[in-house]
Amino acid sequence: MTKATDISLIIPTLNEENGLRNLNSRFKKTKIREIIVVDGGSVDKTIFIAKKFDAKVISEKTRGYGLALRTGFNSASREIIGCADGDGTYPVEALPEMVKYFKKNKLDFLVACRFPLKNRTSMPVKNFFGNILISSITSMLFDFQATDVCSGMWLMNKKTWNQIKYKIKDNKWFFSNEIKIEALLNKKIKYDEFWIELKNREGFTKVGNVWFIGLSVLIKILMKKLFSKSHA
């Protein structure tokens, strides 16, 4: 019998019925204790499907990837908080092994690292080079080593979130980068990466113009470096 995975898993959604339908059977294997879907106003069957696997659904009227995660993190009841996308690209079935690694190594923050890609078709070429570039520039500017600061799947202790959430200002796509920067810079936070196999996306991406978002993220990284203060 599969041991229950005692975490709160946050999934931000916007019209992800195809992805959630695919994730349904995969969730059953993990036996995750708490799944929180934060929905930004889906008009398809996203909420209906989420409720089928007993997820707690929170409607967030103001859209924003980071805001959805922030809302979910603040609503989590478990001591370990995780997040993943609703499009089926991240292997939620790997979460039990991630939790095991997280606890064994007494970590505070663990990123599901997508690189090196096992399946090159799982990520568009422009996204691939953009992710590598952003992680490389971030590591260089802040003087640490991070392979995947853009990953949308990670684990952290609830106390870690409470410790750094006030330093995270962005509520959109940069939220994912900013939370990792804050975790990496804080000497009290034990940070690591765990390799996962990225899957092919289900449904259409909601990201929009990848080039524009990538450029805006790079600008925000530079601004954060310029105006950052000393960390604990």
**pLDDT per 10-residue tile (average), the chain, 232 residues:** 79 94 87 95 95 93 95 97 95 96 98 96 93 97 96 98 96 97 96 96 69 92 84 48
| Residue 1 pLDDT | 37
C-alpha–C-alpha distance, residues 167 and 17, integer Å: 33
Bridge-based pairing state of the strands 191-195 and 80-83: unpaired
| Residue 229 pLDDT | 62
| Residue 201 pLDDT | 82
Question: 120-126: long-range contacts (C-beta < 8 A, 24 or more apart)?
Answer: 121/200, 122/89, 122/198, 122/199, 122/200, 122/201, 123/198, 124/210, 126/210, 126/211
3 state DSSP class of 203 = coil
| Residue 211 pLDDT | 83
Diameter over CA atoms, the chain:
52
CB 190 within 8 A of CB 108: yes
In degrees rounded to 5, what are phi and psi of residue 129? -70, -35
Beta sheet of 191-195, edge-to-edge order: 56-59, 32-39, 5-13, 80-83, 154-157, 109-113, 191-195
| Residue 209 pLDDT | 80
Both tokens of 39, joined, read: 């929905």
Task: Say whether pTM exceeds 0.85.
Answer: yes
Cα(first)–Cα(last) distance of the chain, in Å?
43
If one counts every other C-beta atom within 10 angstroms of the C-beta of residue 223, the result is 11
Architecture of domain 5-227: Alpha-Beta Complex (3.90)
